[in-house]
Amino acid sequence: MIHQPDIAEVDRILDRTGRGADAVIPALQAIQRQYRYLPEEALRHLCANSDITPAAVESVATFFSQFRRRPVGEHIISVCDGTACHVKGAPAVYDAVAQRLGLNGNEDTDAAAQFTVQKVSCLGCCTLAPVVQIDGVTYGHMNPEGVSQMLADFLEHKKNTSHKAPSRHEDIGAGEIRVGLGSCCVAGGSEKVRAALDAALAAIRSDVRVKRVSCVGMCHQTPLLDIRLPGRPPILYAKVQPEDVRAILARHFQPAAPWIRLRAAVTSRLEHLYTEDGRDAPRRCSLDARDAPVAAFLAAQRRLATEYCGELDPVDIEEYQRLGGFEALHRCLGLSSAESGCLDPQQIIEEIRRSGLRGRGGAGFPTAAKWQAVREASGESKYLICNGDEGDPGAFMDRMILESYPFRVIEGMIIASLAVGAHAGVFYIRAEYPLAVRRVSAAIHACEAAGFLGDSVLDSGHAFRLRIMEGAGAFVCGEETALIASIEGRRGTPAFRPPYPAEHGLYGCPTLVNNTETFALVPWILRHGAGQFAALGVDHSKGTKVFSLAGKIARGGLIEVPMGMTIRQIVDEIGGGVANGRTLKAVQIGGPSGGCIPAALADIPVDYEALTEAGAMMGSGGLVVLDDTDCMVEMAHYFLSFTQRESCGKCTPCRVGTKRMLELLTRLCRGEGKPADIDQLEHLAGVVKRQSLCGLGKTAPNPILTTLRYFRDEFEAHAEGRCPAGRCKALITYSITEACIGCTKCAQRCSVQAIAMKPYQQHEIDATRCIRCDTCRQVCPVDAVHVE
């Protein structure tokens, strides 16, 4: 359905965004929100009525993946192809969606223009992998055969979208129920659970308080309900469904008025809950912190950036203050009751220096040195940027920190602004993280109202203001010069450094760019002192690091551990080992800039130097566990296809080199490669690594170089036409062995009718129809599906 756009709306948008050349990205985002794509008439009108040029519009609108130039279907289906989703079968889910919509070739919208399907880099819900999002609704743990059901469910729920805003209860006399409302939990259905809670509590006229809390980190158990009753230990319900809510309530809370019908109705569910109240119930069970697995998940962690995880209401500034928030800022400003005298900027930097804090964005540059450089740079205005453009597929630390601890990051930024002398700051947050944008925005308003931000921070005379810039979808904008270019309204292409942003950054002014997690650690350091921070960690890597643990792991989630912990400890102790009893093959660390560390090296510690030495890198902290069914050549292909797609296209080595490398890898994965291709791949990887302009290009070959280093035999096997892990579709065939009991499960689930239904007989797979989606192997109860 294409409507003639109402051009007058563009004028209203320009009134909001401003008409300067740097308004181009916000203006295009607003236009797209209005029309759901960028109609050319609207763009021409935009150019005619602002300083934005046609060249700028074209170059920006085609650079960022968020922007669409063609009309889209009524609903947009985003299939996440982040690392965790990828290894758990996202490509097959995408194929199934495309097949269900009847798409051919490069089509992305069905004939009725009802759905448009797209692959997205990462929705940041790695523990629910594979994830599909339709408009705002997230479906986790998807599989190809569930696609039809998902679409039906979506259309069903769309019809009754009477979403009333939940009211907030202040009275906590009868107890409190905490609902995790981080993206993972929301994706896991916590909004539905919360709506059910509100409804159920209203029904029993209870005044129990429902509190939303930050991400608990146990994303493998979402949605989580945490029941707090006065004088009793907390009770945690995991993987709660809306229909469980009444039962849970009935179990813990007395209704204000007895309602026989309700009670009768829930009896059976209540029993179900009681009977399944065991430790191993797969779907729903109550947990408590004394349970061994939960204890293991939590015990080895050390929470600094994610302090008060699962307790803090993300946007409650008073609670943040009650729990020590803004104490560090008070100390810097000399307003602390404990000590007298303020910390001058140099003293703040010294404190950071003594703590040994290094940038958490990946490269690990010493934070104090960066601050010092900005402080010493001459310039009328200085800027601060919080880099929350977390684009790694398989990483969601920044998202979680921004969603759960916006005040902590803001406090870190205010302290940094004092240290470097900046008066304006920008939050650069991916547009794919709408919840983070909303929370940070609310937190900024709260801070302004409370005097933490504004013309005089806590009456100190230091002015500091913050604004949010939504990234429009380009991984390369995580690189600081590209990030700055995009804030200035240009394509996100990196510039050669030096000059570093510390001297010549945003609008040519000295600019401090730090990662979200780095800022989040600052208040803790200044509150507890550099010594306590430096006491954690190892030689050159101090403090803690937040990782998103995902992939083939029993207990995925967001974790924060002291630096120096070994990979094996993280996987085994915190993550509970590899899922489904398979064996650990490798851990991909650092995302597309990092590498695959083989199981044999799992005892290396996570610190900057050790990881770099192993060929990986800390990166921003994605940690994806791979098991023996994962093909390393396919993984290399996956990461390279990501960086190749995300290459900005500016410098030749990265623009053309990554493309040629990807072609070589594609040939290998299709069984069309030759042994000489492996040598050329290695050679070209060296060229791209040495000769690219920016960090993206220089690190893009890392996943290939590490897999070549540790798993060269798999590349050689592919050159001979074999995929040892049985993953590369062109190199494998599915067949059913004599072990088949004729249960027909595979035939029922096969989405392409490649298996004829033959009850009580051995089934057969029609190789010409088979799309190698792996469903039959997964559903077979007797392991009779053979892949080779």
Partner 1 sequence: MPRLTIDGKAVDAPAGASVLEAAGLAGVSIPTLCHAPGVRALTSCMICVVEERGSGRTVPACATIVEEGMIIETNTTAIRNARREVLQLLLSEHAGDCEAPCRRACPASMDIPLMLRRIAKGDMDTAARIAARDLVLPATLGCVCEAPCETACRRAGLDEAVSIRALHRAVAEAAHGMRLDCQPSTGKRVAVIGAGPAGLGAAVALRRFGHGCCVYEKRAHAGGALRDMPESRLPRAILEMEIDAIRRMDVAFRFGVDVGAAIPLTSLVNEHDAVIVASGGIEAQGEAVFAAPEHRMTVRAIAAGKRAAEAAHRRIALGGSAEPAKPYDAHLGRLEPEQLERYAGNRVAPEALARSRQSENLRGEAGRCLHCDCHAPVSCKLRQYATEYGARPATYRAPARPEVGVTQRHGGVLFDPGKCIKCGLCVEITHQSGEALGLTFVGRGFATRVAVPFNESIEAALRVSAEACVAACPTGALAFADTEERRPCE
Footprint of partner 1 (CB under 8 A): 40, 43-44, 53-59, 62-65, 474, 491, 495-496, 498-499, 644-653, 655-660, 663, 667, 680, 684, 687, 690-693
Cβ 682 to partner 1 shortest distance, Å: 14
What is the smallest separation between the CB atom of 177 and partner 1, expressed in angstroms?
Answer: 46
Spatial distance between the Cα atoms of 191 and 204, rounded to a whole number of angstroms: 20
The interaxial angle of helices 190-203 and 245-252, nearest 10 deg, is 50
Q: How far is the CB of 210 from partner 1 (least distance, A)?
A: 44
Which CB, 368 or 684, lies closer to partner 1? Answer: 684
What is the SS3 assignment for 755? strand
Distances (CA, A) of 767 to 661, 732, 735, 755: 30, 10, 8, 9
How many Å apart are CA 449 and CA 316, to the nearest integer? 13
Least separation in angstroms between CB 58 and partner 1: 4
What b/e sequence results for 62-93 when a residue is b if at least 16 CB atoms lie within 10 Å of its CB, and e otherwise?
ebbbbbbeebbbebbbbbbbbbbbbbbbbbbb
The minimum distance between CB 501 and partner 1, in angstroms, equals 15
Can you give the C-alpha Rg of the chain in angstroms? 27
**Nearest to partner 1 of 18, 686 (CB atom):** 686
Residue 106 or residue 340: which is nearer to partner 1 going by CB? 106
Looking at the Cβ atoms of 655 and 709, the one nearer to partner 1 is 655
C-beta closer to partner 1: residue 136 or 498: 498
Q: Which CB atom, from 43 or from 606, has the smaller least distance to partner 1?
A: 43
Nearer to partner 1, 58 or 613 (CB): 58
What's the min distance (Å) between Cβ of 510 and partner 1? Answer: 17
What would the two tokens of residue 11 be? 């004028």
Looking only at the bridges linking them, the beta strands covering 285-287 and 235-238 are antiparallel
3-class secondary structure, 542 = strand
d(CA 145, CA 147): 6
Burial annotation 528-542 (CB, 10 A radius, 16+ → b, else e) = bebeebeebbbeebb
Q: Which is nearer to partner 1, 568 or 670 (CB)?
A: 670
Report the nearest approach of partner 1 to the CB of residue 641 (Å).
Answer: 11
Quickly tell me which residue has 């009211």 as its tokens: 167
* Closer to partner 1 by Cβ: residue 63 or 253: 63
Q: Residue 549 carries which DSSP code? A: E
Cβ nearer to partner 1, comparing 61 with 179: 61
Q: How far apart are CA 56 and CA 20, in angstroms?
A: 12
Q: How far is the CB of 591 from partner 1 (least distance, A)?
A: 17
- Closest separation in Å from C-beta 76 to partner 1: 20
511 phi and psi angles, rounded to 5 deg: -140, 135
Give the whole-angstrom CA distance, residue 730 versus residue 718.
10
Q: Cβ of residue 476: shortest distance to partner 1, in angstroms?
A: 9
Q: How far apart are CA 546 and CA 515, in angstroms?
A: 12
